[in-house]
Amino acid sequence: MKRGLLSFALVFALFLPNLLSAKDAKGLNVVLTAKDAQTQMMAMVLSMMTLNQNKEVNVVLCSNAGDLAVKGMKSKVLKPKNKSPKMLLKGIIKKGARVSVCPLYLPNANKDKSVLLDGITVAKPMDVAKQLLNKEYQNLSY
């Protein structure tokens, strides 16, 4: 019994600061590079949940995740909602998320800005760095 209580107290003490700071956070920064559809979907779901709490969301798509930003490229439909990461990406953009692709993505994929979905821009490294260092935001990287 004491051991269980001690474990609970330790976990609570370790996560309490994160819980408190997340409540006061202005929003969420997400850097997504993963090719895996489930990982991409989790990033989109957490972004949507953040927007639903009237918080700001900034997403930077790099590497394989940059494909989500390209018109006409498909992404895998996942259960249980039968939605794809790309579908949720479009949804978070409609709800006000700021989404960009890293500046390395387009030239290395032999593409230009014209292929990007509406509402997606090319990130400026200095702006991304400033946003990631902004203590008013929580950062997630997938």
pLDDT band, very low/low/confident/very high, at 19 (cuts 50, 70, 90): very low
Q: pLDDT per residue over 46-91, tens digit each?
A: 999 999 999 999 999 999 999 999 999 999 999 999 999 999 999 9
Q: In this structure, are strands 56-61 and 27-32 parallel, antiparallel, or unpaired? A: parallel
Summarize pLDDT for 44-54 with one digit per residue, the tens: 999 999 999 99
CA distance 29 to 8: 29
Q: Give 18's pLDDT tier (boundaries 50, 70, 90).
A: low
pTM, entire model: 0.84
E strand segments, the chain? 27-32, 56-61, 98-101, 120-122, 137-141
CATH topology of domain 25-141: Hypothetical Protein Ychn; Chain: A, (3.40.1260)
